[in-house]
A = this chain, B = another copy of it.
Amino acid sequence: MAQKVLMKGNEAIGEAAIHAGCQCFFGYPITPQTEVAAYMSRRMPKVGRVFLQAESEVAAINMVYGAAGAGVRVMTSSSSPGISLKAEGISYIAGAELPCVILNIVRGGPGLGGIQPAQSDYFQATKGGGHGDYKLVVLAPSSVQEMVDFVQDAFDIADKYRTPVMIMGDGMLGQMMEPVEFKERPKKELPEKTWAANGLRGREKHNVINSLFLKPEELEAHNNKLQEKYREIEKNEVRYELYNCDEEMDLVIVSYGTLARICKNAIKMLKKEGINVGLIRPITLWPYPVEAFDKVVDKTKHGFISVEMSCGQMVEDVQLAVNGRKPVHFYGRSGGMVPTPAEIANKIKGIVGGAK
């Protein structure tokens, strides 16, 4: 077992990317994720890799497009407004089927908003912030250790499916230090990147990185291919955690990221009062873990509550998953306000009718 070290989320993710073979990092400073770039600027040259501070988020994501197309592992990192600026580029990357990892350390919005932790980019991440029918695989770690582990997973998923993968955290996760371990993991069997445009080097036919299909028939065929891939991902890559979901429950919380940890504390508090509450923690925000709901829907008395640091975004996916079988409630804070276990517990008591 590798030794545990205390690391900031933002730095751990950088180190994890290096472990995962990330060859290039392109970024642009923005709070609360600037430490990722700062860390990479220190480390990447030391390991003979590329760190480049781009002139903007738009440039950064297009540099990612360039490097990804050439077949190397590449990552970029930003926070909410910066991710908005990357929307076009992300759509291009998805359209051209390029693998890459995009980190979003979410802050409060809209507009310039604030810099404290939030989850209000859920829609943007899961429904497609950019134009066109595409999907990002979205991983939501809830600890620094998961951040580290998911970076490796993200690169693997990206390469396996030729698709961009987003890791979505919040300011808390980025700024906090927790013990982490950089486990050596077995190399995955991944398809060779024969499609990469990195120079002919003896190859017969030139490779082209492209998302333009002027003929509707061809664009539709391309879209159908993308959709098939997305179905495949939905089949293979769904991840979630069930917590305290074994018995009959008064209510099931749905929550992700650091907030899910806070919800666990609320669950413990409630348990002491005789209220039994479960938790579904989606780890992949897309593909959304619908099956988790099927597993618990019959065991929950008052249905579900989506607890978010946003004004009601994931709750729609919860409703879609529950599809009317049980009531769906919502509790959210926004703008950088982080709910406490006590307030979550209170809200839940309001729903299930106090202690029993």
Interface of A with B (CB < 8 Å)? 58, 80-81, 83-85, 87-88, 91-96, 106, 108-116, 118, 120-121, 123-124, 127-134, 210-224, 226-227, 310-313, 316, 319-320, 322-325, 333-337
Contact A127 B132 (CB under 8 A): no
Supply 9 further A-B pairs (C-beta < 8 A) apart from A84-B91, A111-B211, A114-B212: A85-B87, A91-B110, A108-B220, A108-B223, A123-B123, A128-B129, A220-B334, A223-B335, A323-B323
CA distance A58 to B89 in the complex (A): 13
Name A336's closest neighbour in chain B (CB-CB): B216
User: 3 tightest A-B contacts by CB?
Assistant: A109-B132, A324-B324, A111-B211
- Cα(A310)–Cα(B226), bound, Å: 12
Q: Give complex CA distance A112, B214 in Å.
A: 9
Distance in angstroms between the alpha carbons of A313 and B133 in the assembled complex: 8
Q: Is the CB of B113 within 8 A of A132?
A: yes
CB closest residue in chain B, given A116? B216
Are the CB atoms of B91 and A81 closer together than 8 Å?
yes
Task: For the complex, give the distance between the alpha carbons of A168 and B92 in Å.
Answer: 21
Chain copies in the assembled complex: 2
- CB of A212 within 8 A of CB of B111, answer yes
**In the complex, what residue of chain B is closest to A117 when comparing beta carbons?**
B216
| Residues on B with beta carbons closer than 8 Å to the beta carbon of A337 | 216-217, 220
Task: List, in ascending order, chain B residues with CB within 8 A of A216's CB.
Answer: 108, 114, 116, 335-337
Cα A221 to Cα B113 in complex, Å, equals: 12
Whether A91 lies near B114 (C-beta < 8 A) is no
Set of chain B residues within 8 Å of A93, measured between Cβ atoms: 111
CB of B114 within 8 A of CB of A219, answer yes
Is B223 within 8 A of A311, CB to CB? yes
- B80, B95, B212: which contacts A132 (Cβ < 8 A)? B80
Which of these, B84, B116, B226, contacts A131 with CB under 8 Å?
A: B84
The answer to whether B113 touches A212 (Cβ under 8 A) is: yes
CB distance from A307 to the nearest CB of B (A): 15
B95 and A109: CB pair below 8 A? yes
Please indicate which of the listed interface residues A131, A211, A219, A337 has the most CB atoms of chain B within 10 Å of its own CB: A131
A81 touches B124 (CB 8 A): no
Question: In the complex, how many angstroms separate the beta carbon of A99 from the nearest chain B beta carbon?
Answer: 15
Contact across chains for B316 and A320 when beta carbons are under 8 A apart: yes
Q: Are A128 and B134 in contact (CB under 8 A)?
A: no
Residues of B within 8 A of A111 (CB): 91-96, 132, 211-212
Docked pose: A113 CA to B217 CA in angstroms: 12
Question: With A220-B334, A335-B213, A336-B220 in contact, is A133–B114 under 8 Å at CB?
Answer: no
> Taking the nearest CB of chain B, how far is it from the CB of A128, in angstroms?
5
Contact of A311 among B106, B124, B133, B336 (CB under 8 A): B133
Q: How far is the CA of A226 from the CA of B334 in the complex (A)?
A: 12
Beyond A95-B110, A111-B94, A323-B319, whether A129 also contacts B84 by CB under 8 A is: yes
What are the residues of chain B within 8 A of A131 when measuring CB–CB?
A: 80-81, 83-84, 106, 109-110, 113, 120-121, 124, 129
For A130, give the chain B residue with the smallest CB separation. Answer: B84
A174 CB to closest chain B CB (Å) equals 16
6 A–B contacts from the bound complex (CB under 8 Å): A87-B87, A87-B129, A95-B111, A113-B132, A223-B334, A324-B324
Residues of B within 8 A of A218 (CB): 335
